[in-house]
Amino acid sequence: MKLLACLSQTWGIARPCIVVCAGTLTVGAGAPSATQNPGAKTHTVTIEGMRFNPQTLTVRRGDRVVWINRDLFPHTATATSKAFDSRSISPNVSWAYRARTVGEFDYGCTFHPTMRARLVVEPRAKAPITRTNRAGPLR
Partner 1 sequence: MKPRYAPCAAALALLTAAAWAETTQVTDPQIAAIVVTANQVDIAAGELARAKGHSKEVKDFAQRMITDHSGVNKSATELVQKLHVTPESNPTSESLKRGGDENLAALKKLRGSAFDKAYIEHEVAYHQSVIDALDKTLIPSAQNAELKALLVKVRPAFVAHLESAKQIQSSLGKM
Applying CB under 8 A, the residues found at the interface with partner 1 are 48-51, 71-74, 91, 111-115
Closest to partner 1 by CB, 113 vs 123, is 113
Closest to partner 1 by CB, 113 vs 128, is 113
CA distance 110 to 99: 20
Query: CA torsion 53→30→110→119, rounded to 10°?
Result: 50
| Closest by CA position to 104, among listed 86, 116, 87, 122 | 122
Closest to partner 1 by CB, 14 vs 47, is 47
CA distance 52 to 58: 14
Min separation Cβ 91 and partner 1, Å: 6
Min separation Cβ 119 and partner 1, Å: 21
Min separation Cβ 53 and partner 1, Å: 12
